[in-house]
Structure 1
Amino acid sequence: MAPGLPTAMDRPHFIGIGGAGMSGIAKILAQRGARVAGSDSRESATAESLRALGATVHIGHAAAHLADDSTCVVVSSAIRDDNPELVRAAELGVPVVHRSDALASLMGGLRAIAVAGTHGKTTTTSMLAVALTELGLDPSYAIGGDLEGPGTNARHGEGDIFVAEADESDRSFQKYDPEVAIVLNVELDHHANYASMDEIYDSFETFVGKVVPGGTLVISADQAGAVELTSRLRDLSTLKIVTYGDSPTADVRVHKITPRGLTSEVTVLLDGRYLTFTVSVPGSHYAHNAVAALAAGVALGIPAHNLASALGKYTGVKRRLQLKGEVNGVQVIDSYAHHPTEMTADLAAMRGAAADARLLVVFQPHLFSRTQELGAEMGQALALADASVVLDIYPAREDPIPGITSALIIDAARTAGADVTPVADKATVPEVIAGMAKQGDLVLTMGAGDVTDLGPQILARLSN
């Protein structure tokens, strides 16, 4: 049985409760019986889903939103010190708890699987959540995106397994003590928090070092950063390492990936036997995520053939190559990709799924720091599209950096031979795309910001 509610969490207040990570923790606490409250900058479907669970959600940030009897205030690294609710918490002496500590407390006493990596965390965590649920194991899970089936990013289950997306961006994944850790890949990102690859490796090594004695690390045998991390691991006496991938030395070897339109058929070699299953999203990177999920479940003692069948029930997660609709022969698909590796992978996946279609991309860069460091690579990735529209940078939690604009990406894309149209006014994008799109085209809205809102607007404009 799953444990109950941590005492310090019985009346939590979340600042930024609508965020992907924060809302998941809030939902689980509400389902465990906590009196949950919080605030967010705007109304959203997430806010409504929290209210449906009994949570109080305020729109806007104000000191008065924090109840005097709150037992803690939960924050993420994006919350600034001058937030009025955080200031009020200090005045009242209410303890401030980081999101990662709150999540760690929810995992206490359970068999935890923590999914880490620069890319693919949400998809892999989702695959595990769906498969374990399908097998009747009733897991708890906290994911950075909403599952297509259940339509939620978190759930309190009565089983003894907790599957969590482990965020490396602010080193918060170092707080967890999983029985199984997954490392999908290791690349330089989150430049405001990491100055070098050595810092990234050190951070991931600390994460792996928190695996409980006798636990398992599932790690890519192909991706260069993951291979380097494996070579750096020192104390392996209490850790079992299971590698997966195309490499002939992988413990779980990918034998073949066969594209089937917007799905893939995957065959792996595991313990001397071939196992074939279906992944309901296109692209080899998603197939590899499924193999990582398979290896993690086997590490918990779940029969591989049962897991393989259950993984076929996964139908996707919102914003991960999610089909938003089709009008007049034009399909609109949404992608969360915002790092060059992710962008390249998703564009290649769509090329493989619809080789004869023209691919039109609406790309919104995410963060000034990421654009400063990786803008050239983003532009090169866009060369895989037939034509692209590039928006202004979505700042999220960051202040502008002088001289850093979308022009860095646009110039690099044009140098790589890409057809790129800069658009400063996001509201005009549906009209721009309507002038470009023809029957049979694929339109991909891409980025981690509010570019996702454009999908329905583009469909509405195309219908006219």
Structure 2
Amino acid sequence: MSLVKLVDPVPAADLGRVHLIGIGGAGMSGIARILLKRGVAVSGSDARVSDMLDELRGLGADIHVGHAASHVKDVDTVVVSTAIRDSNPELGEALRRNLRIIPRAAALAAVMTGRTGIAVAGTHGKTTTSSMLTVALQKCGEDPSYCVGGRLVTTGLGADDGTGEVFVAEADESDGSFLMLTPDVAIVTNVEADHLDNYGDPQAVHESFARFAERVGSILVVCADDPGAAALAPLARARGLEVVTYGEAPAADIRTVDIVPRGLEVEFHVAGHGGVRLAVPGRHNAVNATAVIAVALRLGLPFDEVREGLAAFTGAKRRFEARGEAGGVSVYDSYAHHPTELTADLRAARDVVSGGGPLRGGPLHGGRVIAVFQPHLYSRTRFFAAEFGAALGLADEVVVLDVYGAREDPEPGVSGALVAGKVPLPSERVVYAPERASVPALVAARARPGDIVLTMGAGDVTDLGPRIVAELSAK
């Protein structure tokens, strides 16, 4: 798969009847929801039935389960993602009929047209930071439009069309399509090697972010703690952009200080402004929240109101999301699928058990961290097996599933065993479990009161949380 072909964005009003292939996905469904709220005729297809399809059907979308050429017979614009293969019959028919075919990011750019766009980019932290920013703006009375990569716990939605002037968007770098966005303001949380199946080498990733910074219209907000993000600052200043740095680095313009984990919460101060308490765990989330504060202050919002808005943020789905508790063991789920993300979440998990933080309404912790990890993509597993293993060494017990291939075909010699073999723990504390169905019972047998279980990965590992809770209940 190659990087998407960049196209000039078309205003949403000019798209006509829109068909989205893979409409049930997080990004596609959000765009569909916004188009529907603006009165655009929307149809779409997906491979399987889901609650999301039912939601969109209820909003007026013409939904198809399964893909067929006939689904695009009455449309003007077809929206695709890089997950859609060339063999898809709807894509083939759209090409045959010479319909307008645009990538998902171009559709996102279309619905952002005419609003003050704030894009959140970075290898990690995009969904959490964009979700935090959305909730903070809502609590400040701004009513932004938003399209992020996960559902907000506060609204239950991953996208909506607000009445305010601001549009918050998560900018996806995976295929380079974030270069279709032209935001007024952008946050870059970090820049690291990832998606090397597309980019080829880390240098190409950094170059892509540099090109993204060139598309920002007014203000670039970058994390001073991350070398890749910080390297964008002088480039942006040379273009005449206003640059705001944030983070724990002493030279940061908006500085995070005095971070204190409090179990499932974290407290910190912003130098020169005051204290903030978040209802989500992890030092990394204190820094993410500081990015939100940096943007909000540039928008002229009062710090006290922003602080209240951040306190109201209770997380996004699949971002250290509580899935249940049984037998004194609490189960959480995380979308973490890169070594840096695993490291951040496992450190947060360690904060929870060491800080005595309870699952809301559940027991106190004080036990061990059991990590259940499903590698995502064969290429990523091959590139980062050693780094995944090192990150998982932060847990007390580790269960590694086989690779969730997603859009990729299997590679010889690449499996979850490659990661399990790199975990620096005694062999009896690391299990490679290629049979996914065996995992809930396996985890329940190892867990004991006071432990937390954290399922991690971008694939269907998320389905295991409730099953693990059920197994724990049956012990």
TM-score interval (norm. to shorter): over 0.9
What does residue 222 of structure 1 align with?
A: 225
* Alpha-carbon distance between aligned partners in 1 of 2:126 and 2:58, rounded to the nearest angstrom: 27
* Alpha-carbon distance between aligned partners in 1 of 2:56 and 2:226, rounded to the nearest angstrom: 38
Say how many residue pairs are matched.
Answer: 454
Contact 2:17 2:41 in 1 (8 A): yes
* Alpha-carbon distance between aligned partners in 1 of 2:200 and 2:99, rounded to the nearest angstrom: 33
Q: Which moved more, 1:6-15 or 1:321-330?
A: 6-15
Is 1:419 matched up with 2:419?
no
* Alpha-carbon distance between aligned partners in 2 of 1:246 and 1:131, rounded to the nearest angstrom: 21
* Alpha-carbon distance between aligned partners in 1 of 2:131 and 2:155, rounded to the nearest angstrom: 11
* Alpha-carbon distance between aligned partners in 2 of 1:258 and 1:157, rounded to the nearest angstrom: 34
* Alpha-carbon distance between aligned partners in 1 of 2:70 and 2:447, rounded to the nearest angstrom: 49
Equivalent position SS for 1:376: helix
Is 1:392 matched up with 2:402?
yes
Is 1:457 matched up with 2:467?
yes
What does residue 132 of structure 1 align with?
A: 137
Compute the TM-score of the two structures, normalised by the length of structure 2: 0.93
- After TM superposition, the runs of 4+ consecutive aligned structure 1 residues lying more than 6 A away are 415-418
Is 1:86 matched up with 2:91?
yes
What does residue 352 of structure 2 align with?
A: 353
Task: Report how far residue 229 of structure 1 moved.
Answer: 3.2
Task: Report how far residue 149 of structure 1 moved.
Answer: 1.3
Task: Report how far residue 166 of structure 1 moved.
Answer: 0.3
Q: Which runs of 5+ in 1 are unaligned?
A: none
Aligned sequence identity (%): 51
Task: Report how far residue 416 of structure 1 moved.
Answer: 7.9
Contact 2:389 2:423 in 1 (8 A): yes
- Match 1:198 to one of 203, 227, 236: 203
Equivalent position SS for 1:192: helix
* Alpha-carbon distance between aligned partners in 2 of 1:396 and 1:45, rounded to the nearest angstrom: 20
* Corresponding letter in the other structure for 2:260: T
What does residue 291 of structure 1 align with?
A: 290
Task: Report how far residue 210 of structure 1 moved.
Answer: 0.6
- Match 1:46 to one of 43, 47, 52: 52
* Alpha-carbon distance between aligned partners in 1 of 2:222 and 2:34, rounded to the nearest angstrom: 28
What does residue 189 of structure 2 align with?
A: 184
* Alpha-carbon distance between aligned partners in 2 of 1:236 and 1:105, rounded to the nearest angstrom: 28
Task: Report how far residue 7 of structure 1 moved.
Answer: 2.9
Is 1:306 matched up with 2:312?
no
Task: Report how far residue 383 of structure 1 moved.
Answer: 0.9
Contact 1:75 1:96 in 2 (8 A): yes
* Alpha-carbon distance between aligned partners in 1 of 2:125 and 2:185, rounded to the nearest angstrom: 17
Query: Which runs of structure 2 are paired with 1:250-399 in the superposition (5 Å)?
Result: 250-269=252-271, 273-355=272-354, 356-399=366-409
* Alpha-carbon distance between aligned partners in 1 of 2:237 and 2:448, rounded to the nearest angstrom: 57
Q: Which moved more, 1:417-426 or 1:321-330?
A: 417-426
What does residue 238 of structure 2 align with?
A: 236
Q: Give CA deviations for 1:398-424 in whole Å, capped at 9, x if unaligned.
A: 112222111210111157878211111
What does residue 438 of structure 2 align with?
A: 428
Task: Report how far residue 45 of structure 1 moved.
Answer: 1.9
What does residue 162 of structure 1 align with?
A: 167
Change (3 A) 1:89 1:128: same
* Alpha-carbon distance between aligned partners in 2 of 1:206 and 1:418, rounded to the nearest angstrom: 47
Task: Report how far residue 62 of structure 1 moved.
Answer: 1.6
What does residue 28 of structure 1 align with?
A: 34
Contact 1:380 1:416 in 2 (8 A): no
Task: Report how far residue 39 of structure 1 moved.
Answer: 0.8
Contact 1:380 1:413 in 2 (8 A): yes
Q: Give CA deviations for 1:244-287 in whole Å, capped at 9, x if unaligned.
A: 01111110011211112201112001xxx232111111000011
Equivalent position SS for 1:412: coil
* Alpha-carbon distance between aligned partners in 1 of 2:121 and 2:429, rounded to the nearest angstrom: 35
* Corresponding letter in the other structure for 2:460: D
Contact 1:243 1:252 in 2 (8 A): yes
Is 1:62 matched up with 2:62?
no
Compute the TM-score of the two structures, normalised by the length of structure 1: 0.95
Task: Report how far residue 301 of structure 1 moved.
Answer: 2.3
Change (3 A) 1:116 1:44: same
Contact 2:11 2:113 in 1 (8 A): no
* Alpha-carbon distance between aligned partners in 2 of 1:35 and 1:290, rounded to the nearest angstrom: 37
* Alpha-carbon distance between aligned partners in 2 of 1:303 and 1:379, rounded to the nearest angstrom: 43
* Alpha-carbon distance between aligned partners in 1 of 2:188 and 2:25, rounded to the nearest angstrom: 24
Change (3 A) 1:257 1:29: same
Contact 1:142 1:164 in 2 (8 A): yes
* Alpha-carbon distance between aligned partners in 1 of 2:250 and 2:428, rounded to the nearest angstrom: 36
RMSD of Structure 2 on Structure 1 (CA): 1.6
Task: Report how far residue 292 of structure 1 moved.
Answer: 0.5
* Alpha-carbon distance between aligned partners in 2 of 1:36 and 1:234, rounded to the nearest angstrom: 38
Contact 2:214 2:236 in 1 (8 A): no
Task: Report how far residue 305 of structure 1 moved.
Answer: 2.4
Q: Give CA deviations for 1:62-114 in whole Å, capped at 9, x if unaligned.
A: 21222x22111100111111100101112222211110111001111111100
What does residue 248 of structure 1 align with?
A: 250
